[in-house]
Amino acid sequence: MKRIGVLTSGGDAPGMNAAIRSVVRYAVHNKIEVIGIFRGYAGLINEELKELNHRSVSNIINRGGTMLKTARCDEFLTEEGQRRAVQAIKKNKIDGLVLIGGDGTYRGGIELVKKWHLSCIGIPGTIDNDLNGTDSAIGCDTAVNTALEAIDKIRDTSTSMERIFVIEVMGREYGFIALQVALGGGAEEVLLPEKKFDFPRMCDEIVEGNIRGKVSWIIIVAEGAHLPDGQIAKAQDIAKKITEMTGLETREVVLGHIQRGGIPTARDRILATRLGAAAVELLMNGQNGKAVGVISDDINVVDLEFAVTKKELKVDNFYRLIKILT
């Protein structure tokens, strides 16, 4: 390995910068040149490349977002788009790639390895935390903390105004963020993609609570949660339905993109720093088509193909506790 490329792709996640810094400095330390590829696969196709040195990644460890920018790129889904990306890699004499992103980014990596015979290592960078082979992806800890901070503020108004709040959090088809913030934020209820939801039961509980004098509720909804009729559980619809069924006042909040931004937490920075170095180490050792992660505090390496398989979320114990402590 004389020269490697690094890119961030898909949704941005806090801590990606710390991973870039680690990749660059670990590689440079080992006399490997690093090419920063801007805007993910789109930038690879368009050759938006810049050599990065030790100094290029100064003062970014504490910054949210990604200095390399990120993008979603439909062209890369096509044979022609991939061919152009591969040409750019060959033309610029890049021997290996470090791909920081989520499952889509990893799927792109699988194509580059299997179809185009390139060397790629994946680093999990997604607030959804839906990749296998790691307890945590870079960004998810910050996202949980950001959502919690917002929920704490909503709780103040919920208690003062004696209202029911339905709060939608990110996470796509994986309920990780929702489950974490429901437990950490002391929510009364959580709707998850992984669990069938009994809407009438929740409304009965709200009415019974109301009779006992419990007037404020925090209900967390994962963006990928469904109602029993198969409809996506949107915060707005749930709030409306609760009012219809209980006669009580509700408000809905969609936390949205604030969950993606902000200063990465210590956990995310440390994870990103460890994984950046581990990815370069794998490339130096001639490994290919792998994803790095951390399981029980140890570096863990899996195939990219395994990393994108459906990750199981253990819901029951958390959910039980949420309901006992309500």
Q: Which two tokens stand for residue 231?
A: 């409809």
State in angstroms the smallest separation of the CB of 172 from ligand ATP: 7
Which of 41, 174, 176, 319 forms a contact with ligand ATP (CB under 6 A)? 41
Q: Which two tokens stand for residue 309?
A: 């398989």
Alpha-helical (H) ranges within 162-265 are 176-184, 199-212, 235-246
Bridge partners, 120 (sequence order):
97
Q: Report how far residue 136's alpha carbon sits from residue 174's, in angstroms, rounded to the nearest whole number.
A: 13
User: Does residue 305 touch ligand ATP according to CB under 6 A?
Assistant: no
The residue range among 88-96, 100-108, 231-239, 250-258 that interacts with ligand ATP, by the rule CB under 6 A, is 100-108
At 91 the three-state DSSP class reads helix
User: Does residue 76 touch ligand ATP according to CB under 6 A?
Assistant: yes
User: Does residue 107 touch ligand ATP according to CB under 6 A?
Assistant: yes
User: Does residue 165 touch ligand ATP according to CB under 6 A?
Assistant: no
| Residue 30 backbone dihedrals phi, psi, to 5 degrees | -100, 20
Which of 3, 72, 240, 251 forms a contact with ligand ATP (CB under 6 A)? 72
State in angstroms the smallest separation of the CB of 106 from ligand ATP: 7
Q: Which of residues 112-151 bind ligand ATP (CB under 6 A)?
A: 126, 128
Residue closest to ligand ATP (Cβ): 104
Q: Which two tokens stand for residue 228?
A: 């029993």
The residue range among 21-29, 69-77, 144-152, 227-235 that interacts with ligand ATP, by the rule CB under 6 A, is 69-77
User: Does residue 3 touch ligand ATP according to CB under 6 A?
Assistant: no
The residue range among 43-51, 70-78, 227-235, 268-276 that interacts with ligand ATP, by the rule CB under 6 A, is 70-78
- Sign of the Cα torsion 301, 305, 306, 312 reads positive
At 216 the three-state DSSP class reads coil
Specify the residue for token string 């998850």. 192
Nearer to ligand ATP, 108 or 293 (CB): 108
Residue 274 contacts residue 294 (beta carbons within 8 Å): yes
Specify the residue for token string 């039961």. 201
User: Does residue 77 touch ligand ATP according to CB under 6 A?
Assistant: yes
Query: For the chain, how big is the Rg over CA atoms in Å?
Result: 22
The residue range among 53-61, 105-113, 271-279, 314-322 that interacts with ligand ATP, by the rule CB under 6 A, is 105-113
| Residue among 12, 74, 95, 128 flagged as catalytic | 128
Active site residue 237: no
User: What is the SS3 assignment for 261-283?
Assistant: CCCCCHHHHHHHHHHHHHHHHHH
User: Does residue 46 touch ligand ATP according to CB under 6 A?
Assistant: no
User: Does residue 111 touch ligand ATP according to CB under 6 A?
Assistant: yes
Nearer to ligand ATP, 228 or 256 (CB): 256
Whole-number Cα distances in Å, 116 to 16, 87, 180, 271: 26, 10, 39, 30
The residues that are catalytic are 128
Which residues would be at the binding site for ligand ATP (CB under 6 A)?
9-11, 41, 72-73, 76-77, 101-105, 107-108, 111, 126, 128
